Amino acid sequence: MPPAWLTSWMDHEGAILWRTLIGCFIVAGLWELFWPVHPVATRLERRWSVHAVLFVLASGLLAVTAPFTRLGMSLVVARLPFGLLNQAAVPFWIRCVAGILLLDMARYWTHWMMHSNRWMWRIHLLHHTDEHIDITTGFRFHPLEEMVGVTLGMATIAFTAAPPASVFLFEVVVAFLALAAHANASLPVRVERFCRAFVITPDLHRIHHSVRQEDQNKNLGVIFPFWDRLFGTYRELTTGEAGQMAFGLEEFPKAKAFNLFYLLASPFVKLPSPETPAAEPASRQTQIV
């Protein structure tokens, strides 16, 4: 059983997630305001308003369609006799750590599928159309992608029977990294070198948003970078690369990058390819290492 203090925290899941988001937004916002890595050309009010609407639409759609949260699913499964981690003989903390690792690996493979399957890429590409990465890019997701992510997340929890405590802790960390990893800022060099061994840092995730397609298939991890190392999708910046990196999608119309209606329609719009104008964006399957 989880310790009493963790159980009491889990009773306030929604409040803790919101406070985590708000706290990270303030801290990371100040961080990138005073020490930005790249200039952001888009007007802040336009960026923030469009990304806020996308976030509200995704949250609203999930509130209407999802019967309960991921934590709710884990509480249901914990009472059932099946599930990979539903083993009372295994100490709680071992099951909790294993649950976090399995959830993160599942998110890695979900992200991999978003880039390797042409239909899943259609709903994920909106996230990559931002040419100026900052903390608000962490809100730039199509509502359909959020639905797919929640569905696959629920399936993962049902199969693994990840303990509710591990699901709760995982959600809190992911909420933090959703903003921190997109921050237009870098950690001090020594801190960055240390942290990147254990967690996805802004410098690592920034590579994933490069305009180069081969880079978009790198650093797919959500919390831990060792899945990328294990499965051959890991890359670090070389000296001098950070300041020269360009972001976005070559095939996406630049003038539409903050047209909300076009962004929402993007999964159903045929985008031109810069190499072959009449073709769809190439399948990502051949690009994954």
Total residues found in the chain within this entry:
289
Average pLDDT rounded to a whole number, residues 260-271 = 90
Task: Identify the residue whose tokens are 């070389």.
Answer: 238
Q: What is the pLDDT of residue 10?
A: 64
Cβ neighbours of 120 (radius 10 Å) = 20
Q: How far is the C-alpha of 111 from the C-alpha of 208, rounded, in Å?
A: 11
Q: How far is CA 197 from CA 77, 94, 128, 175, 216, in A?
A: 33, 22, 25, 20, 20
- Across all residues in the chain, what is the average pLDDT? 86
Question: pLDDT-derived band of residue 276, with 50, 70 and 90 as boundaries?
Answer: very low
Domain borders along the chain are 46-269
Report yes or no: 163 and 86 within 8 Å, Cβ to Cβ. no
Q: How far is the C-alpha of 253 from the C-alpha of 91, rounded, in Å?
A: 53
Q: What is the pLDDT of residue 242?
A: 64
pTM to 2 decimal places: 0.86
If one compares 121 and 1, the residue with the highest pLDDT of the two is: 121
CA dihedral 216, 41, 127, 197 (to 10 degrees): 50
Write out pLDDT tens, residues 4-56. Answer: 656 666 667 778 888 888 998 999 889 888 888 888 777 888 999 999 999 99
pLDDT above 50 for 280 = no
